[in-house]
Structure 1
Amino acid sequence: MRLAVVGCGDVGTSVLELAGEHGNEVVAVADSTGGVVDDGGLDAGDVLARKRSRGVVGSGDPEAVLDADYDVLVEATPTTLGDAEPGFSNVRHALQRDRHVVLANKGPVAERYDDVRTLEADSAGTVLFEATVGGAIPVLSTVADRDGRVTAARGVLNGTANFILSRMAAEGLGYEHVLAEAQDLGVAEADPSFDVDGTDAALKCVILANVLYNDGHTLADAEVEGIADLPGSALELAAEDGRTIRLIGEV
């Protein structure tokens, strides 16, 4: 398949690195400041080298990537709330051209699920978004394949929060210390708020709910609680009782 990749963070970079190994050809790439298109196929290594050395994938217009001759748009821009832009517009543009879309960006299917499904119904393209919940674990397809027999879901949905709580419990360390450690290791973002305030886990719950019930739920429908204000003493008390504390998502 011919791929266009929008967003060149961890996910987009991994797609570029692995596309060729799986028989796919990358013909267009965009990041937040530039783009590059070659209908004959791009050298992913060259694109990534340029990104690392110059901070951009190319000098072209990022919008031109959406009009390239691709089969599948890989939408990997950062998740945004509310109107889910620019991810939603990227999805709409691809579907209106009858192209397929693969989402790593949670925004369009957490905040505008009904809109995405309406666009998909009017298109020859399809939208897949397995990567939005559980990474490489096939959570959403497993739920969908059970054809209504799964009625609820519950689990640990955010790796950053899980790392922080595990380290705090195992080592008796404070929250700020472990958060800094997680950032140094690349486990937590420079701005970790989505992870530690519960937003990321809540978005994943919303997406699960939309798949489970085929409803247009949004983040506004979720009850959200994070770990930033959790005192170390709570973990100690839990340990004394043979228990542990985790940030759990439940639908």
Structure 2
Amino acid sequence: MHLNTELHRSLGCPLTLHKIQINPLATTVEACDFGHGQQKSHSPHFSSLTKHRPAVADSKSATIEPEGVNVSEVLSTKRTDGVVGSDDPKEALEGPYDVLVECTPTTLDDAEPGFSHAGIALQRDRHVVLANKGPVAERYRDLKELEAESDGTVRFGATVGGAIPIISTIEDFGPDRVTSLRGVLNGTANFILSRMATEGLDYEHVLAETQDLGVAEADPSFDVNGIDAALKGVIIANVLEREENLSLEDAEIEGIENLPGSMLDLAQKDGRTIRLIVEVTDGTVRVGPRLLPKNSDLAPVGTRNAVGIETESAGQLNLSGRGAGGVETASAVLSDIERFSK
């Protein structure tokens, strides 16, 4: 079962091996990047810090050039010929690099092939940056055991909240000092509920509109039935409950597909609204429609995400912003890579 990640949709091919210059004073980092999707206009944003790429690959092919691949030419070939080159993508994974950026589409249950890609890198004492939710949501303990035996480190800020630094905020503040998290973590569902509330339209009408705008997938089930949000909740729970090994089957999930427009109308008249909320507390994950004050910090409009992180000593920390998109996810990936240079 596949979940089409935003980065997979918007960047061009499943595997890239490149050097990334984090900043003019930083050490150059060689990164092997799996998982670019259909090339769109966001690739230049992801590539803005990449100065040298020894290889680029998708699931079927690769171009390997130790002196540096011309990415524009590779992506042009991908668009016209459906492949990026004539080399074997496995050679790129087995080549010299410092960081594996794993961006293949999220898969459930065994989390393959993303989990194996990460495993190969860790066994070679390489760092791993995940934009793929599967390994962290479905096989967290296995992943952390591999990390414990490696000189490499796993980072996965891009799996939750796009450009919003949710995971890094929890890590920096201290997971032991965070008691719970609550918020909106799926932009598609939030867009639909926002439109239903403001326009008084029913679910089917707004869903069709959302698909026409390209906000929702042709098959929006993972967004509207709460699975995408639940995967993100599970990842957060695994970070907070480090001794646990939660997966999607541990989450209580209710989506928005059966939510009548009349309920939003009633909420509106009472000065409230409804959002698809993820709740993570005491090792449990719950996802479902919840009533909120209309002006709540956790009731963003459109595709934005917002979370409240409850802490022991600092009260509630509120974070909000763009929770999905190629540029947003790429910025989270690059933030994780930059941490390896510090």
TM range (shorter): over 0.9
Structure-2 residue corresponding to 1:199: 227
Which protein is richer in strand relative to its size? 2
C-alpha distance in structure 2 between counterparts of 1:56 and 1:19, whole Å: 20
Structure-2 residue corresponding to 1:91: 118
C-alpha distance in structure 2 between counterparts of 1:10 and 1:213, whole Å: 35
Verify: 1:223 aligned to 2:252, yes or no: yes
Verify: 1:65 aligned to 2:92, yes or no: yes
Supply the RMSD in Å over aligned alpha carbons.
1.9
C-alpha deviation, 1:51, in angstroms: 2.2
5+ residue gaps, structure 2? 1-28, 281-342
Which of 265, 279, 287 does residue 236 from structure 1 map onto?
265
Is the Cα contact below 8 Å between 2:123 and 2:146 reproduced in 1? yes
Which of 138, 151, 155 does residue 111 from structure 1 map onto?
138
5+ residue gaps, structure 1? none
Verify: 1:37 aligned to 2:60, yes or no: no
Q: Partner letter of residue 188 of structure 1?
A: A
Aligned partner of residue 187 in structure 1, secondary structure: coil
* Superposed counterparts of 1:154-193, under 5 Å: 154-193=182-221
C-alpha distance in structure 2 between counterparts of 1:75 and 1:11, whole Å: 16
Large movers: runs of 4+ above 3 Å: 10-14
C-alpha distance in structure 2 between counterparts of 1:171 and 1:5, whole Å: 42
* Superposed counterparts of 1:40-51, under 5 Å: 40-51=67-78
C-alpha distance in structure 1 between counterparts of 2:47 and 2:101, whole Å: 15
C-alpha distance in structure 2 between counterparts of 1:81 and 1:11, whole Å: 24
C-alpha distance in structure 2 between counterparts of 1:240 and 1:193, whole Å: 29
C-alpha deviation, 1:89, in angstroms: 0.5
Identity of aligned residues (%): 63
So what's the TM-score if we normalise by structure 1?
A: 0.93
So what's the TM-score if we normalise by structure 2?
A: 0.69
> Structure 1 residues 188 and 175 mapped into 2: Cα distance closer, same or farther (>3 Å)?
same
Residue by residue over 1:150-188, the C-alpha shift from the partner in whole angstroms, topping out at 9 and shown as x without a partner, is 111000000010011111111122222222222222211
C-alpha deviation, 1:23, in angstroms: 4.8
C-alpha deviation, 1:20, in angstroms: 4.6
Which of 255, 276, 280 does residue 247 from structure 1 map onto?
276
> Structure 1 residues 12 and 208 mapped into 2: Cα distance closer, same or farther (>3 Å)?
farther
Structure-1 residue corresponding to 2:286: none
Q: Partner letter of residue 201 of structure 1?
A: A
| Count of aligned residue pairs for this structure pair | 250
